[in-house]
Chain A
Amino acid sequence: MAYLALSGIEKRYGAFAAVDGVSLAVEEGEFVCFLGPSGCGKTSLLRVIAGLDRQSAGRVEIAGRDCSTAPPEARDYGIVFQSYALFPNLTVARNVGYGIATQERARVKQRVAEMLALVGLPQSGDKYPGQLSGGQQQRVALARALAPSPKLLLLDEPLSALDAKVRLTLRRQIREVHDRLGLTTIMVTHDQEEALTMADRIVVMNQGRVEQSGRPHEIYARPASLFIADFVGSMNIFRGTATGDGRVRLGGVELACGGGFGPGAAVTVCWRPEDVVIGAQAAGSANPVQARIVGVEFLGPYHRAMLRARGFDAPFAADLSAHLVRDLGLASGQELQVGLPAASLHVFPEPLT
Chain B
Amino acid sequence: MIRSRGRIGPALLLGAWCLFLLLFVACPLAALLVKAFENREGDWVGPANFAAFLASESLVDAALHSLFVAALTTAITLLLAFPFAYGLTRTAMPGKALFKALAQIPLLAPSLLPALSLVYLFGNKGLLRGAMMGHSLYGPIGIVIASVFAAFPQAVLILVTALSVADARLHESARAMGAGPLRRFLTVTLPGAQYGVVSAAFVVFIGVISDFGVPIVLGGHYPVLATEVFEQVVGLQDFGMGAVVGMALLLPVSLAILAEKWSAARQKALLSARATVLRPTRDAAADSAAFLFCAVVVLLLLGIVAMGGFVSVITFWPYNLHLTWRNFAFARFDSAGWDSFANSLALAGWTALCGTALTFVGAYLTEKPSGFDRLKSWLRLLAMVPMGVPGMVLGLCYIFFFNHPANPLSGLYGTLAILVLSSCVHFYSVGHLTASTALKQLDRDFEAVSASLRVPLWRTFWRITVPLCLPAILDIALYLFVNAMTTVSAVVFLYTPETKPASVAILNMEESGTVAAAAAMCMVIFCSSAVVRGLHMAVERILLRLTQRWRSVPR
Is the pairing of A and B real? Answer: yes
The contact size tier of chain B is 20 to 34
Complex interface: chain A residues within 8 A of B443 (CB): 81, 83, 85
B1 in the interface (beta carbon within 8 A): yes
Contact B555 A89 (CB under 8 A): no
A258 in the interface (beta carbon within 8 A): no
B468 to chain A, nearest CB (A): 6
How far apart sit A129 and B552, CA to CA, in the bound complex (Å)? 11
A81 to chain B, nearest CB (A): 4
Whose C-beta in chain B lies nearest to the C-beta of A95? Answer: B449
Complex interface: chain A residues within 8 A of B451 (CB): 51-52, 71-73
How far apart sit A53 and B448, CA to CA, in the bound complex (Å)? 10
A82 to chain B, nearest CB (A): 9
Contact B7 A89 (CB under 8 A): no
State whether A71 and B4 are in contact (beta carbons under 8 Å apart), knowing that A79-B452, A131-B555 are contacts in the complex. Answer: yes
Complex interface: chain B residues within 8 A of A74 (CB): 1-2, 4
A292-316 interface bits toward B, Cβ cutoff 8 Å, 1 = contact, 0 = none:
0000000000000000000000000
Which of A99, A131, A154 is close to B453, meaning CB atoms less than 8 Å apart?
Answer: A99
B545 in the interface (beta carbon within 8 A): no
Contact A89 B4 (CB under 8 A): no
Complex interface: chain A residues within 8 A of B370 (CB): 52-53
Contact B553 A98 (CB under 8 A): no
Contact B468 A88 (CB under 8 A): yes
Contact A88 B555 (CB under 8 A): no
Whose C-beta in chain B lies nearest to the C-beta of A85? Answer: B445
Complex interface: chain A residues within 8 A of B126 (CB): none
Count of interface residues, chain A, beta-carbon cutoff 8 Å: 35
B274 in the interface (beta carbon within 8 A): no
Contact A98 B453 (CB under 8 A): yes
Whose C-beta in chain B lies nearest to the C-beta of A72? Answer: B451
How far apart sit A70 and B6, CA to CA, in the bound complex (Å)? 12
How far apart sit A79 and B547, CA to CA, in the bound complex (Å)? 27
B46 in the interface (beta carbon within 8 A): no
Contact B553 A128 (CB under 8 A): yes
A163-181 interface bits toward B, Cβ cutoff 8 Å, 1 = contact, 0 = none:
0000000000000000000
Within 8 A of B (CB), among A259-293: none
Within 8 A of A (CB), among B529-555: 547, 549-555
Complex interface: chain A residues within 8 A of B455 (CB): 73, 98-99
B464 in the interface (beta carbon within 8 A): yes
Contact B463 A90 (CB under 8 A): yes
Whose C-beta in chain B lies nearest to the C-beta of A94? Answer: B463
Which of B7, B454, B456, B463 is close to A148, meaning CB atoms less than 8 Å apart?
Answer: B454
B262-282 interface bits toward A, Cβ cutoff 8 Å, 1 = contact, 0 = none:
000000000000000000000
Contact B555 A145 (CB under 8 A): no
B327 to chain A, nearest CB (A): 49
B149 to chain A, nearest CB (A): 41
Whose C-beta in chain A lies nearest to the C-beta of B468? Answer: A89
State whether A89 and B454 are in contact (beta carbons under 8 Å apart), knowing that A70-B1, A71-B6, A71-B7 are contacts in the complex. Answer: no
Complex interface: chain B residues within 8 A of A130 (CB): 550-553
Contact B553 A131 (CB under 8 A): yes
B3 in the interface (beta carbon within 8 A): yes
Whose C-beta in chain A lies nearest to the C-beta of B5? Answer: A73
24 contacts between A and B (CB under 8 A): A51-B451, A53-B370, A71-B451, A72-B448, A72-B451, A73-B4, A73-B6, A74-B2, A77-B452, A79-B452, A81-B445, A85-B445, A88-B468, A89-B468, A89-B550, A98-B453, A98-B455, A99-B452, A101-B454, A129-B550, A130-B552, A145-B452, A148-B453, A148-B454
- Where the two chains meet, the residues of B that have a C-beta atom closer than 8 Å to any C-beta of A are 1-4, 6-7, 370, 443, 445-446, 448-456, 463-464, 467-468, 547, 549-555
